[in-house]
Amino acid sequence: MHAPKPETTAAAIMDAAAELKFAPSGIFEGYAAVFGNVDSANDRIAPGAFASSLGDLRAEGRLPPMLWQHDVQKPIGQWLDMHEDSHGLYVRGKLFTDDIAQAREAYALLRENVVSGLSIGYRTVKSVRDAQNGVRLLTELDLLEVSIVTFPANERARIRAVKSQFAAGHVPAEKDVEAVLRDAGFSRKQAKALMAHGYKALAPRDAVEGEEAETDETAALLSGLALCIRRLT
């Protein structure tokens, strides 16, 4: 067995899941990076990877710039809070919708889920690569910027977006709820069965009275969905 080797690389980009929640006046929150999962570049971020960089930035009284699509000539807002929690790198920011046309466009696209991602620009300070599976564990990163992007590579977690949809009284897209069920522990088969037999009843349509659950399995899955929704809301 070969021990993992330390690595250092130049600046890079990593995308995060669509986990955005909105408030009035161009303010939104979400996760710019998620811990634990392997991205399309075969990298995984370790908890604590941002601690040193964020500490240095706070000592300077600033946070990384908020950019549009990693374009250094298009800052569109300001990050108000940025810290690590058990899930990843939490961010809360404000788009300058009153003063910058691109910020207004970005906010409209985010609200309608046309643009749905956050992405970090960073420089690797410390990392190790597993010799067996080739996955690189990023243990210390120099955070350069956080961008709003059109195509996030990491589509894993959508819980925050689904939660805000339920809270607003809307029915989220089926694919988003299915992703939540998968994250909650349902198998792919169970999640699809639940969506096919149970979730459609939540959509606005004429109900058929007297219908019963087709199988005990469907009833159990519906109970699981109810539990998931209670946890979300």
pLDDT: is 119 or 192 the higher one? 119
Q: Residues 119, 127, 147, 178: which is the catalytic one?
A: 119
For 128-184, write each residue's pLDDT tens digit.
998 888 999 999 999 999 999 886 555 543 335 555 555 555 556 666 666 666 655
Is pLDDT at 21 greater than 50 in this prediction? yes
Residues 140, 191 share a domain: no
Residues 45 and 154: beta-carbon distance below 8 Å: no
Q: Residues 29, 70, 87, 174: which is the catalytic one?
A: 70
Q: Residues 53, 127, 145, 147: which is the catalytic one?
A: 145
CA nearest 54: which of 30, 8, 85, 23?
A: 85
Q: Last residue of some domain: 136, 154, 172?
A: 154
Residues 209, 126 share a domain: no
Residues 56, 32 share a domain: yes
pLDDT of residue 118: 86
Residues 36, 136 share a domain: yes
Residues 146, 175 share a domain: no
Q: Find residue 11's DSSP bridge partners.
A: 123
pLDDT: is 3 or 37 the higher one? 37
pLDDT of residue 164: 52
Q: Last residue of some domain: 154, 169, 194?
A: 154
Residues 68, 117 share a domain: yes
State the total domains in the chain. 2
Residues 108, 37 share a domain: yes
Secondary structure (3-state) at 57: helix
pLDDT: is 97 or 201 the higher one? 97
The mean pLDDT value of the chain amounts to 74
Residues 178, 95 share a domain: no
- For 17, the domain range is 5-154
Q: Last residue of some domain: 154, 172, 195?
A: 154
Residues 140, 173 share a domain: no
Query: Is 52 an active-site residue?
Result: no
Is pLDDT at 71 greater than 90 in this prediction? yes
Query: Is 197 an active-site residue?
Result: no
Strand locations in the chain (E): 5-7, 11-15, 21-22, 27-34, 43-45, 66-68, 71-84, 88-95, 117-129, 136-149
pLDDT of residue 87: 87
Q: Which helix (H) or strand (E) holds 218?
A: helix 216-232
Say which amino acid occupies 233: T
Residues 134, 169 share a domain: no
Question: Best-predicted range by mean pLDDT among 16-20, 30-34, 96-100?
Answer: 96-100
Query: pLDDT-based confidence at 101, cuts 50/70/90?
Result: very high
For 108-138, write each residue's pLDDT tens digit.
888 777 787 888 999 999 999 988 889 999 9
Say which amino acid occupies 197: H
Q: Find residue 89's DSSP bridge partners.
A: 33, 84
Residues 123, 175 share a domain: no
Residues 165, 92 share a domain: no
Residues 147 and 7: beta-carbon distance below 8 Å: no
Query: Is 145 an active-site residue?
Result: yes
